[in-house]
Chains A and B, each alone.
Chain A
């Protein structure tokens, strides 16, 4: 299962990861693209925070539309690309213990999708390497493929 790991001692707070994420997702998010990775300040140091693609993702359980799903093979949790569509109901944003889901509610998004869309890290499906990983000048972010127990619910 693919995960993003951070070597936080290397982070300089330059936010290139955020910019790269926004750039990569412009086509989905419309006019007001939002980053899905966040560089926060913790104890006076920059720390990047991003979706953990949890084994027992709470956002998946909270989703009222059924669109937030964890892929059985890659482990990636996303609300895009499924039969069920996101209705912008805020439930996954509420449920996420890491606060890494946002609402994209600008005009362009609502015009394209009829609803505001929850946006979160989708592991950059169009790239071999996630945009944030490529952009980081200090090699803070690493993609690791780890073994996760087969989905066992909560």
Chain B
């Protein structure tokens, strides 16, 4: 048997490990467009502010692929899935056939459609590569503006403050962490952050980024300008479902799977940020982008791919845990706003 896993993060790696624990013989391949070995995406802020070296970001050991006999194909993008031929095509023409395929392809950071996105000094804060780029650019940056006060945005804000950069966070909603905490808790966390010197502007979004070649300022709302030399976009992520839809698999916002994490194709499974899963509590489907869910989905999909039927039905709302400065916080349950205004 050959198991092909696209995606080298929480879901993909744990699926691979799970399969190998039960099946010592079959071939397992993990393909990723990122060139880094499996690192914890949640830790990149601690890399950015210097608390963790790169080598401490890996959530499996450095010898993981060797110990578990998994073949990593890194830095190469999959461009198409051939469902009838049961193979995946890479950007450079390489093809890998599969008996079972797992799409653990995560999500992509969204950017608002505004002017100035091409100016130098604009970054995402999603991958380790993003963090490296910010790291290289940060030396002469005195002030940065961060769009979005979700986890990623606030982690970035915290990291930048630790590096001595002035930070303003601009958030569209009337509270920070709108998908994680209720209003009262978010206010407490905001106070905690403001104690560090982070400025938070609510109920506003960026309308343009201004400058000549490099960023000089941003405009928020009608006509308020903030001078800065760096902008970080943390305005949300969209599940990567295009590969799936081009292959004819069912999708909505994310790839649609059943309770065994199987897509509409019997040999293709999906797990992690790229899927939509049903919330037991509300009966509604939603994207479940957290590390914890991705790990569990990875493990479950691995078992199901092995033929061990294991229902994944644990989703009851979302769990979140965070501590930026002094205040640690945990939330459970119906933590997400219900409207669709996350789509840009």
Contact = CB atoms under 8 A, between A and B. Distances in A.
Contact of A115 (B51, B61, B292): B51
A30 B154 CA distance: 30
Interface stretch (A4-12, A59-67, A73-81, A128-136): A59-67
Interface string A41-68: 0000000000000000000011111100
Nearest to B303: A153
A154 B310 contact: yes
A53 to B, nearest CB: 18
Interface stretch (A21-29, A32-40, A88-96, A140-148): A88-96
A152 B309 CA distance: 12
A103 interface: yes
Nearest to A153: B299
A98 to B, nearest CB: 15
Interface in A75-115: 82-85, 87-91, 93-95, 103, 114-115
A151 interface: yes
B52 A87 contact: yes
B58 A84 contact: yes
Contact of B292 (A61, A65, A88, A151): A61
B162 interface: no
Contacts of B303: 152-154
Nearest to A154: B299
A62 B296 CA distance: 8
A95 B46 CA distance: 22
Contacts of A64: 40, 42-43, 59, 291
B330 A93 contact: yes
Interface string B303-344: 100001010100000011111000010101000000000000
B291 A91 contact: yes
B164 to A, nearest CB: 19
B330 A66 contact: no
Contact of B22 (A63, A66, A152): A152
Contacts of B321: 89-91, 93-94
Nearest to B299: A153
Which size class do A's interface residues fall under? 20 to 34
Nearest to A151: B21
B18 interface: yes
B266 to A, nearest CB: 21
Contacts of B330: 90, 93-94
Contacts of A95: 292, 319
Given A90-B321, A154-B310, A62 B43 contact: no
A134 to B, nearest CB: 33
Interface string B15-30: 0001001100000000
Contacts of B310: 153-154
Interface string B284-311: 0000000110011001101100001010
B56 interface: yes
A90 B59 CA distance: 16
Given A90-B323, A90-B330, A91-B292, A61 B21 contact: no
A124 to B, nearest CB: 25
Contact of A103 (B296, B300, B328): B328
Contact of A88 (B22, B295, B319, B323): B323
Nearest to A63: B59
B319 A94 contact: yes
Contacts of B292: 61-62, 91, 94-95
A125 B60 CA distance: 23
A66 B332 CA distance: 22
Contacts of A88: 323
Nearest to B295: A61
B328 A84 contact: no
B299 A83 contact: no
Nearest to A90: B321
Interface of A: 61-66, 82-85, 87-91, 93-95, 103, 114-116, 150-154
Give the top 8 A-B pairs by smallest Cβ distance, nearest first: A66-B59, A90-B321, A94-B321, A153-B299, A64-B42, A61-B295, A62-B292, A153-B18
20 contacts: A61-B295, A62-B295, A63-B59, A66-B40, A83-B61, A84-B56, A84-B61, A87-B43, A87-B52, A88-B323, A89-B42, A89-B321, A89-B322, A89-B323, A90-B322, A90-B328, A91-B321, A94-B321, A95-B292, A114-B51
